Chain A
Amino acid sequence: MDYIIHLLILICIYLILAQSFNLIFGLGGLFNLAHVAVYAIGAYTTAILATEYNFGFYACLIFSALLAGLLALMIGEISLRLSHDYFAIGSLAFSAVVSALLINWKSLTRGVLGIPGIPRPELFNLDFNNIRNFLWLAALVALFSQAALYVIFRSSYARSLRAQAEFELAALALNRDTRLIKVFSFFIASCFAGVAGSLFAYYLNYIDPSSFSLGEMVSILTIVVVGRPGSFAGVMISTLILTAVLPEGLRFMKIDASILGPMRQMLHAVILFIVVYWNRARLFPVERVV
């Protein structure tokens, strides 16, 4: 039973993470490889504030979201001026800077040792060390995030975002400030990634840089591509399938624990490739050249 609750909590975290990536990548068409880096910043912000400074749950959550969002604004300012190819490289470089900092800034992050002993939040007189109670909290945060993102996905703003992805010149001609639109999507999505990071840190009680590798980025990309980029419901369903059903399948096959991690990574990548192959003609709007 505990294992099912564990999976449900993971689903809550990945729902926030994948859906926010869906906003940038699915609607905005921006291949942002720094999403996991921003998620890491959220997790580390919570870990450091909660262990060193005894900040409460709300403060940690808000600071994680804001710091992640601010850093995303910084990357956004730099890299959103660039075209697709350069943007992908720039965001990859940014994520590499973040992981180098996580490993090397030992006085703040303890390097590869990671930060242990992150206390579970204390709220409503409930004992969140009980994993069942924590699930309610995670579900509440996930529900709120999904609702907020759903409102954004249905708004006219989302249509502008999609329009600039398909045909930037046309969006400009219709008096849309495409750069502002892109930077805003970056900010919002990264705030939610920060929230997901905060939940992740609270849930695991321990974080280290290995949780925020490029492999993790591939997993999120897989979830969004399988759910169809830009589709809110699709990404929700694929999050359920890929975070819950797939690891169960691997467990069922009784794979040796030492190769479980690489096996999961490979499975994600293979699924990603197959889905991209099937949908290659309609996955991304062909850029129109004028």
Chain B
Amino acid sequence: MDIIPQLLVNSLIAGSIYAIAGSGLSMTYGLLRILNFAHGHFMMVGAYFFYLTSVEQGLNYPAAGAFTALAMLVVAVLSLKIFIMPFRRYSTMLPFVTTLALSAILEALVSIVFGVNVKSLGSGLGMTSYEFLGVFITPIQLIIIVSSLVLMTVLAFVVHATSVGRYIRALAENSYAAESLSISQMKVSFWIFTIASLFAAFAGILAGFETNMQPTMGNAYTIKAFAAMILGGLGNIWGTIAGGYILGLLENLSIGLDFWGYSLPAGYKDAFAFVIIVVVLLFKPQGLFNRASRQA
């Protein structure tokens, strides 16, 4: 079975994107206790901003990336101020409804501006794939794997070795106690939401390079990020990252291997994430890695 190494690499590539996307979602849930149904749409919007600047305007990648980051900053701040913050204190149901509305608005806006057709970021990075020990990998795929590892390392450093990270962990564990120690939940939440949105945009750009982009891609990625988060436990950042890689692995194994002479058609790859959510919710709803949380 020499298909296995290639499958593992493919899993790592898919898993990297899910891990970046999922970690942002999980940070948001951990701090704000809201499920952002527009998270996958942030990915989509990020990818389209990058498309606008790099393909349509012909900027080079660093400039396009900087523009995308700035634009996402605006999107994130507006989303937080308009769609989330006014509703948080009334009911946990309200942010579900408003972020769902936000996702529909973003999808419709992108459809109107760019059209509903499939777009591609192309591969200015070269289509030639390297062969390494019988495994084929393209430069962009290498970038995906490495950059996700770098991002995770930076995140780990910020969360575990800085004072901001200490605030984040304190707020996630017990927001009442943390606020009584004069940690501003508003301020930290604002930063976390912005970072999560930037992560989402980055994941969206990577996904745009690796496959292609469409205004409707947001939903599928929202659900995949949710799947990663459900696997790892709601609000558990490291669990979610692990969940992202596990999701990538399971997806690729499900269509790559044949089970007793029967293999799933590739079209079902996406459906697999959804089945995982249902199964995990059924048997281990607290996630694979979650510890019992402290309640006030």
Which residues of A pack against B, CB within 8 Å? 29, 31, 33, 78-79, 81-82, 84-86, 88-90, 92-94, 96-97, 100-101, 103-104, 213-215, 217-218, 221, 225, 258-259, 261-263, 265-266, 268-270, 272-273, 276-277, 280-281, 283-287
Contacts across chains A and B counted by CB atoms under 8 Å: 145
Q: Which 10 pairs across A and B sit closest by C-beta, in order of nearness? A: A100-B271, A266-B108, A269-B104, A93-B277, A262-B111, A104-B267, A284-B91, A262-B108, A96-B274, A269-B101
A39 to nearest B CB, angstroms? 17
Residues of A within 8 A of B91 (CB): 283-287
Say whether A266 contacts B109, CB under 8 Å.
Answer: yes
A287 to B93, CA, bound (A): 10
Let me know if B183 is at the binding interface, CB within 8 A: no
Nearest CB of B to A287, in Å: 7
Interchain CB contact under 8 A, A82 and B285: yes
Given A104-B268, A221-B100, A284-B93, A96 contacting B105 (CB threshold 8 A): no
- Check if A92 sits within 8 Å of B226, measured CB to CB: yes
- A261 contacts which chain B residues (CB < 8 A)? 111
Which chain A residue has the least Cβ–Cβ distance from B234? Answer: A85
Mask for B114-131, Cβ within 8 A of A = 1, else 0? 011000000000000000
Q: Are A86 and B285 in contact, with the CB atoms below 8 A?
A: yes
Which residue in B35, B86, B109, B270 is a CB contact (below 8 Å) of A85? B35
State whether A266 and B104 are in contact (beta carbons under 8 Å apart), knowing that A31-B93, A89-B281, A94-B278 are contacts in the complex. yes
> Across the interface, do A90 and B93 meet the contact criterion of CB distance under 8 Å?
no
Does the CB pair B86–A273 fall under 8 Å?
no
B92 interface hit (Cβ, 8 Å): yes
Distance in angstroms from B35 CB to nearest chain A CB is 6
In this complex, how many residues of chain B approach chain A with their Cβ under 8 Å: the count is 49
A268 to B101: give the CA distance in the assembly, Å: 8
Asked whether, in the complex, the Cβ of A259 is within 8 Å of the Cβ of B111, the reply is: yes
- Are A31 and B271 closer than 8 Å at their CB atoms? no
Listed in ascending order, the chain B residues whose CB lies under 8 Å from chain A are 35, 37, 83, 86-87, 90-94, 96-98, 100-105, 107-109, 111-112, 115-116, 215-216, 219-220, 222-223, 226-227, 230, 234, 265, 267-268, 270-271, 273-275, 277-278, 281-282, 285
> What's the Cα separation between A273 and B84 when bound, in Å?
11
The answer on a CB contact under 8 Å between B267 and A103 is: yes
CB pairs A–B below 8 angstroms (5 shown): A81-B285, A93-B226, A272-B97, A276-B101, A284-B94
Contact of B104 among A90, A268, A286 (CB under 8 A): A268
- In the bound assembly, the distance between CA atoms of A214 and B83 in angstroms comes to 19
Min CB–CB distance A238 → chain B (angstroms) = 15
Residue of B nearest to A74 (CB): B278
Residues of A within 8 A of B116 (CB): 262
Bound complex: CA of A97 vs CA of B219, how far in Å?
Answer: 12
- Chain B's closest residue to A95 (CB) is B274
Contact status A225-B97, CB under 8 Å: yes
Q: Which chain A residues border B102 with CB–CB below 8 Å?
A: 269, 273
CB-CB nearest in chain A for B105? A269
Q: How far is it, in angstroms, between the C-alpha of A283 and the C-alpha of B97 when the chains are bound?
A: 11
B101 touches A273 (CB 8 A): yes
A280 touches B111 (CB 8 A): no
The smallest beta-carbon distance between A276 and chain B, in angstroms, is: 5
Q: How far is the CB of A116 from chain B (nearest CB, A)?
A: 21
Would A269 and B278 count as touching, CB distance under 8 A?
Answer: no
A147 to B249, CA, bound (A): 51
The answer for the CA separation of A270 and B265 in the assembled complex, in Å, is 39
6 other contacts beyond A33-B100, A287-B91, with CB at 8 A cut-off?
Answer: A94-B274, A215-B107, A266-B105, A270-B105, A272-B97, A276-B94
Complex alpha-carbon distance, A281 and B93, angstroms? 12
Contact between chains at A283 and B94 (CB < 8 Å): yes
* Chain B contacts for A89, CB-based, 8 A: 35, 226, 230, 277, 281
Question: Contact at B274–A273, with CB atoms within 8 Å?
Answer: no
Does A88 lie within 8 Å of B35, measured CB to CB? Answer: yes
Min distance, Cβ A24 to any Cβ of chain B, angstroms: 13
Contact status A218-B101, CB under 8 Å: yes
**Residue among B86, B219, B271, B282 with the highest chain A CB neighbour number at 10 A:** B271
Partner of B86, one of A78, A100, A104, A280: A280
